[in-house]
Structure 1
Amino acid sequence: MTPEEFVRNFKVEKDRLLNSYMSTPPTTAVGVHIQSLTLSSEHTNVMRSLLDQALTDAFYTILLGLDGCCGIGEAMQQTYQIQSEDGSSISCSGGEIESMAYEYFQKSV
């Protein structure tokens, strides 16, 4: 898997989570909580936007942390080696994940 495929899959997962949270009928515990708020259409759109940004921030930060561009939690900033099951490297620790994450998560915002 290339760094771009890796990042693209994170973006697909983020979008799936957002859609599952906002689905009607709800398909997740988060969706049940949102539906219980009985939001107006306008407030539902605000909730969707808020969740979209929160998920974007979380996924983007994790990807940058894995690429060594920022720390994760209380861990010091460091580069991680990401490998597929067959042992082939996904990250090149040359900023490729950071670059792709920006394209998929920030540029499209």
Structure 2
Amino acid sequence: MERDALLYTFANPQGGSAVADRLAAANLTSLQRIEVLAAIDAALSEAFYTLLRALDGSASLGGCQQAFKLNGEGGEIIADGDGRLEAAAWETFYGSGG
């Protein structure tokens, strides 16, 4: 949801983001704008996926690779390096849910 919200903000000329301002200033054709937004969408997906993998311990973040234990507000374990977070992230960004 956060990726989609960011993409919407970036694509909206009145979104108030630096990305939206730069896209407007580029004076792109409709086709160019579609392609640039598709590239931004892919970049956001890859960035979010990498961050989630890093939290799960299956990717390096800033040159350091370690698993983190993440708990929800109710104390339930969301991730503890067992691959659940990586699997859910893959499905969200690249599987049938993406």
Structure 2 length as normaliser, TM-score?
A: 0.89
- Alpha-carbon distance between aligned partners in 2 of 1:70 and 1:25, rounded to the nearest angstrom: 36
Partner of 1:100: 88
Q: Note if contact 1:67-1:80 (Cα within 8 Å) is conserved in structure 2.
A: yes
- Alpha-carbon distance between aligned partners in 1 of 2:79 and 2:71, rounded to the nearest angstrom: 8
**Per-residue displacement from partner, 1:52-86 (whole Å, max 9, x unpaired)?**
011011000000000011111211x2110112345
Question: What is the identity percentage for the equivalent residue pairs of Structure 1 and Structure 2?
Answer: 32
Q: Note if contact 2:68-2:80 (Cα within 8 Å) is conserved in structure 1.
A: no
Matching residue's letter, 1:18: L
Q: Note if contact 1:20-1:31 (Cα within 8 Å) is conserved in structure 2.
A: yes
Aligned match for 1:22, one of 2, 6, 11: 11
- In the TM superposition, residue 18 of structure 1 has moved relative to its aligned partner by 0.6
Q: Which runs of 4+ in 1 moved over 3 A?
A: 84-88
Matching residue's letter, 2:88: M
| Aligned residues: CA RMSD | 1.5
- Larger relative strand fraction: 2
Bigger RCO (CA 8 Å, 6+ sep): 1
Q: Provide structure 1 residue ranges, at least 5 long, that are not aligned to the other structure.
A: 1-11
Partner of 1:36: 25
- Alpha-carbon distance between aligned partners in 2 of 1:36 and 1:26, rounded to the nearest angstrom: 14
- Alpha-carbon distance between aligned partners in 1 of 2:92 and 2:78, rounded to the nearest angstrom: 17
- In the TM superposition, residue 29 of structure 1 has moved relative to its aligned partner by 1.4
Q: Provide structure 2 residue ranges, at least 5 long, that are not aligned to the other structure.
A: none
